[in-house]
Amino acid sequence: MKENIRLTRLASCAGCGAKVGAGMLSKLLKGFETHYDPKLLVGYDTSDDASVYVINESTAIVQTTDFFPPIADDPFLYGQIAAANALSDVYAMGAEPKLALNIMCLADGMDKETVQEILRGGYSKAYEAGVIISGGHTINSGEPVYGLAVTGFVHPERVLRNVGARPGDRLILTKPLGIGVLTTAAKADMVEKPVMAKVYAQMTELNRYARDVMTGYEVHACTDVTGFALLGHGLEMAQGSGCSIYLEAAAIPYHREAYELASMGFVPAGAYRNREFAEPGVWAAEGITRAMMDILYDPQTSGGLLISLPESAAADCLAKLKAELEYAEIIGCVGQQAEYSIYIE
């Protein structure tokens, strides 16, 4: 493998920061003719994390795909992060991933060893998840891209969606924010290696462990916080549930280094797209700083789960999550639908 290859320099943006904005995406998908099938429990109409199709009374298929340009220069690490991120959508639905297909674009300057290390990283994370990568598709492109198309299974009555949150619910976030800010600053060598090591470890962590805990409770809604940021995914949950979400800024976990960097202007382009999409539905108290808002609009790669569940179960669920996940926190609650979809205090 060539020592001088920096994968992040081969791409114009990194990770889920490359994601098309939610506002543009809804316009692109509008008006297409589709077949109706009562066995399709979840399609793209509510911007959910994956599609769900019923096979029989005890089994439904969950399908999703996710891929992006390099978010790390180490090819093995990049492969791990991309695979963990793709698997996350299945976990957010309360399901178990079982099969996957590689999706890969090769850019000029990538030698055989680099490509093999990316794939090896993906296979290692799939193996940890108990997933079989059974094939895939590779093309040449202007920028490197890697990810997976994933198939999982779930009982039809246990499907979790990004809608269904109820007034009185508490909201739990399982991973800290600030990934997009930190990886943007890292491209300019503005982040110390120990900080990035912590961030990379977070991104490679499967949401399987959070899924295992939350499915032991009556979860009303769940989504993973990725490219649309906490406020973009939170807005979809609030609007889809016909509720408003109330967030406590002081309770939201985030990387402290990201706050300083956001104050310096290291904000990914995806954060501005997220702000444009979500801001009309968001109210923030005067004391919330611009840097904090940038973190709330920051696109996350392989981010945590946002879980909405009854207040009576929230503390116990959080305690069990914290036994596995250091940064999990209760960050707010769900209320009756009000003028804004999200309130931040």
207 and 76 in a common domain: no
Task: Compare 323 and 45 and report the one with higher pLDDT.
Answer: 323
Question: Is 163 a residue whose pLDDT tops 90?
Answer: yes
CA atoms within 13 A on the CB side of 70: 30
How high does pLDDT run on average in the chain? 92
For residue 175, what is the domain's CATH number?
Answer: 3.90.650.10
The answer to whether residue 124 is domain-embedded is yes
113 and 36 in a common domain: yes
Q: Which domain range does residue 76 map to?
A: 7-158
327 and 180 in a common domain: yes
174 and 141 in a common domain: no
Domain termination site, one of 136, 158, 180: 158
The answer to whether residue 1 is domain-embedded is no
Distance, CA of 8 to CA of 78 (rounded, Å)? 10
The answer to whether residue 175 is domain-embedded is yes
Does 105 participate in catalysis according to the annotation? no
316 and 254 in a common domain: yes
* 207-231 confidence digits (pLDDT tens): 999 999 999 999 999 999 999 999 9
Query: Among 11-25, 40-54, 71-85, 308-322, which is the least confidently predicted range?
Result: 11-25
The answer to whether residue 332 is domain-embedded is yes
The answer to whether residue 164 is domain-embedded is no
For residue 14, what is the domain's CATH number?
Answer: 3.30.1330.10
247 and 152 in a common domain: no
Per-residue model confidence (pLDDT) at position 2: 43
Local confidence band at 142 (pLDDT 50, 70, 90 cut-offs)? confident
Mean pLDDT on 9-15:
59
Distance, CA of 198 to CA of 239 (rounded, Å)? 34
Task: Compare 7 and 302 and report the one with higher pLDDT.
Answer: 302
Residue 181's CB is within 10 A of a number of other CB atoms, namely 31
Q: Write the single-letter amino acid at 155.
A: H
174 and 154 in a common domain: no
Distance, CA of 204 to CA of 200 (rounded, Å)? 6
Distance, CA of 243 to CA of 296 (rounded, Å)? 19
> Which two three-digit tokens encode residue 37?
């099938």
Residue identified by tokens 């198309």 is 149
> Which two three-digit tokens encode residue 162?
């990004």
* DSSP state, residue 291: H
Distance, CA of 252 to CA of 121 (rounded, Å)? 30
Mean pLDDT on 17-46:
68
Residues 6+ apart with CB under 8 A from 320: 213, 216
Distance, CA of 247 to CA of 172 (rounded, Å)? 10
Question: Is 111 a residue whose pLDDT tops 80?
Answer: yes
Domain termination site, one of 103, 137, 158: 158
CA distances from 238 to 22, 220, 251, 335, 343 (A): 15, 12, 19, 9, 11
Q: 335: part of which helix (H) or strand (E)?
A: strand 329-336
Domain termination site, one of 111, 127, 158: 158
324 and 195 in a common domain: yes
252 and 187 in a common domain: yes
Question: Is 284 a residue whose pLDDT tops 60?
Answer: yes
Of the chain, the percentage scoring pLDDT greater than 90 comes to 83
Q: State the catalytic residue, choosing from 16, 105, 222, 317.
A: 16
